[in-house]
Amino acid sequence: MRVLEFLKRVHRNSGGGRIPGLRDPLDALSSIVQANPSSPRARAIVRVLIALRDKRGEFDESHLWALDAEAQQLLTALVNDQLSERYAEAEVATVVEVLACSTSAKD
């Protein structure tokens, strides 16, 4: 499935709600990936972040199932923050590149 369809599924699965007390979804996602970069969860998060950075990508059901509820909520919050221009594209790109290198999830 394409990025937009995938993100719609993530949003639907996450319930669309914001995590109470969440200040920085990009930082929270980075912490998850850095804690266990070889996990399927971390690799799926990085694949989504790369797709957001590049505005393209393909996903299958296994990527969706690798994301737990917390990761799905964080990704939804990140997309919302990107749409409201909270993050500069260069900032997101830099973080994604570092995380991609740590997981070897580069496309």
- State residue 97's pLDDT score: 92
CB 46 within 8 A of CB 96: yes
Task: Give tens-digit pLDDT for 20-35.
Answer: 778 899 999 999 999 9
- State residue 6's pLDDT score: 79
**pTM for the model:** 0.82
Low-confidence residues of the chain: pLDDT under 50: 106-107
